[in-house]
Amino acid sequence: MKKLLIGLLVLGLSPQLFAQIEKLSEVTIYATNYKYLNDVNSQEIASIPVKELEQKVANFDVKESEMYHDDYNEYIVSFYIPQGKILAAYDRDGKILRTAERFENVNLPLAVKEAVVGRFPGWSITEDIYAVTFYDNRGTYKKYKLKLENGEKTLRVKLDEKGNFL
């Protein structure tokens, strides 16, 4: 029995001894839409669904899409989740030209929260809308539209990502 177990062990390990080592050719990976991801990425932790949708937009391959046709210079694609949506324009090579994004009730940056508490003590944020516009040649513009309540009073304010009131 002992010889049988040793024999099976040797037979089981012997194929690894004769395995061939094969060199693979180099593969170059590059991100077409790295500029978009860098611009929309904030220092604060945003809502996970927002980050995932932005990743999906950046990784979308227009050339693999069923709507792709060589004759068109621009493609408009919509992406949706329950918390919001992104409308993205791609060129024929799959590079993002511009986006319009809108999300509701996301995690607000600390600067925005502190600005609201500092200017409106006693008020609470009941609703928020996070709007982003990205242009390849101009960068990103982020805006927060907040609904504040204090008892019976309601107030709407707009802030940028740094907590500056608009």
At 82-131, the pLDDT tens digits run 889 999 998 888 888 999 999 998 888 888 999 999 999 989 999 999 99
Higher per-residue confidence, 163 vs 10: 163
Is the confidence at residue 18, as pLDDT, over 60? no
86 touches 99 (CB < 8 A): yes
Does 126 map to a domain?
yes
Q: 53-57, 62-66, 78-82, 110-114: which has the minimum mean pLDDT? A: 62-66
Q: Report the percentage of the chain scoring pLDDT > 90.
A: 32
Does 146 map to a domain?
yes
Query: What is the extent of the structural domain holding 133?
Result: 31-160
Backbone angles phi, psi at 18, to 5 degrees: -100, 10
The β-bridge partners of 75 are: 90
Is the confidence at residue 35, as pLDDT, over 80? no
Range with top average pLDDT, 11-20, 34-43, 140-149: 140-149
142 touches 42 (CB < 8 A): yes
Verdict on whether the full-model pTM lies above 0.85: no
Q: What pLDDT shows up at residue 57?
A: 86
Local confidence band at 25 (pLDDT 50, 70, 90 cut-offs): low
Is the confidence at residue 23, as pLDDT, over 70? no
Mean pLDDT of the chain: 81
Please give the sequence-ordered ranges of beta strands (E in DSSP) within the chain, or none if there are none: 74-81, 84-91, 96-104, 124-135, 139-150, 153-160
Q: What pLDDT shows up at residue 143?
A: 93
Does 22 map to a domain?
no
Work out how many domains the chain is built from and give that number: 1
Is the confidence at residue 29, as pLDDT, over 60? no
Does 3 map to a domain?
no
CA gap 148, 166 in Å, rounded: 15
Does 95 map to a domain?
yes
